[in-house]
A and B are shown apart, each in its own frame.
Chain A
């Protein structure tokens, strides 16, 4: 059993027919006012359909798009981030990075070695730690030493050693 409000809504929408229609129209207290109200409702319906139909559809699409994006953002980011992270360390890039690191290491090593060499240059020349002559055999003998860096030769120079005859040059 339909209520009056249900029958009224159906009448406004033009969904009543036959006996039900005639009985409902007969039950209306003011038929003219009801007809005016029905016409107004139909106009309003038509207007709404015409003016809002397109925008409603747009909003629906926009909403759907927003929902899809949100779902994708919630599910995709970790995978995307992982993919981006692993994509950077490709084998060629690893090779280049390793090569560049090695080159930097070599450059610094060479620079450090070069800085170190001048201070230690004397280590690469022969050094005379001490020298002595027999004071009994050569009482006036003196010794001196010098390094010739240009020729990398170290010389122990003696003076006043006892001179010997040419026979001593024998093999």
Chain B
């Protein structure tokens, strides 16, 4: 009994501490999403499944379609990348990794025209949603999620 406890407790504590100390490469999914209301909505893309509820609640649309996306694995936290659709481009510039996530500079372009710029600290457990311009009867949304 005593021997098994003596082995079990350090083992459990190591398992508990390990996730805090291990920091591997992480992947950021960035997407250009068109939200609109239709009679027969398409299933939500898998990248958005975890925020389906908040998306529907905040924006009031029943369909979300990805028109452009990018998946970037961050190793240094200093990478930059682009998610594009036919007319829009989202440029993401990672500017360092903190304890809680990554500092990102985001720029939304319509063709070559800068519409919106923001700096954000993207948390590993908290997605970022940006409401873009109205497009037809729908809405352009920018979504960033650390996977």
Task: Please list the residues of chain A having a beta carbon within 8 angstroms of any beta carbon in chain B.
Answer: 92, 95-96, 98-99, 102-103, 106, 123-134, 137-138, 143, 147-148, 151-158, 161-171
Contact B67 A169 (CB under 8 A): yes
A-B CB contact pairs (8 Å), 11 listed: A92-B2, A123-B100, A124-B100, A129-B103, A132-B116, A138-B133, A153-B54, A153-B127, A156-B129, A166-B135, A169-B136
Given A95-B2, A126-B127, is A161 in contact with B115 using a C-beta cutoff of 8 Å? yes
Query: A124-B126, A153-B129, A170-B85 are contacts. A164–B2 as well, Cβ < 8 Å?
Result: no
**Is B13 among interface residues, defined by CB-CB distance under 8 A?**
yes
Would you give the shortest CB distance from A102 to chain B, in whole angstroms? 5
Q: Known A96-B2, A123-B123, A153-B51; judge A171-B86 contact (CB<8 A).
A: yes
Given contacts A95-B2, A161-B134, contact A132 B117 (CB under 8 A): yes
**Is B132 an interface position by the 8 A CB rule?**
yes
* Bound Cα distance A157, B2 (Å): 58
B125 touches A169 (CB 8 A): no
Contact of A124 among B123, B130, B140 (CB under 8 A): B123
**Complex Cα–Cα for A59 and B25 (A):** 90
Q: Mark out the residues of chain B between 86 and 141 whose CB falls within 8 Å of any chain A CB in the assembled complex.
A: 86-88, 99-101, 103, 110, 113-138, 140
Residues of B within 8 A of A98 (CB): 6
Taking a contact as CB atoms under 8 Å apart, the answer to whether B122 and A126 are in contact is yes
Tell me if B138 and A161 are in contact (CB < 8 A).
no
For residue B139, give the distance in angstroms from its CB to the closest CB of chain A. Answer: 10
Interface size class of B (residues with CB under 8 A): 35 or more
Which residue from A102, A123, A131, A166 sits with its C-beta under 8 Å from B137?
A166
Chain A residues with CB below 8 A from B135, complex form: 163-166, 168-169
Most chain-A CB neighbours within 10 Å: which of B10, B123, B126, B132? B126
Q: Residue on A with the closest CB to B34?
A: A169
Question: Contact at B132–A158, with CB atoms within 8 Å?
Answer: yes
Q: A137-B114, A154-B129, A168-B87 are in contact. List 10 more A-B contacts (CB 8 A).
A: A95-B6, A123-B100, A126-B127, A134-B114, A154-B120, A155-B129, A156-B128, A157-B131, A163-B133, A168-B110
Taking a contact as CB atoms under 8 Å apart, the answer to whether B119 and A129 are in contact is yes
Can you list, as one digit per residue, whether each of B51-93 has a CB less than 8 Å from chain A (1) or not (0)?
1011000100000010110000000000000000111100000
Interchain nearest-CB distance for B64 vs A (Å) = 12
Instruction: Write out the residue numbers on chain A whose beta carbons fall within 8 Å of the beta carbon of B16.
Output: 106
Our pick among A92, A137, A155 for the contact of B58 (Cβ within 8 Å) is A155
Cβ-defined contact, B115 with A154, below 8 A: no
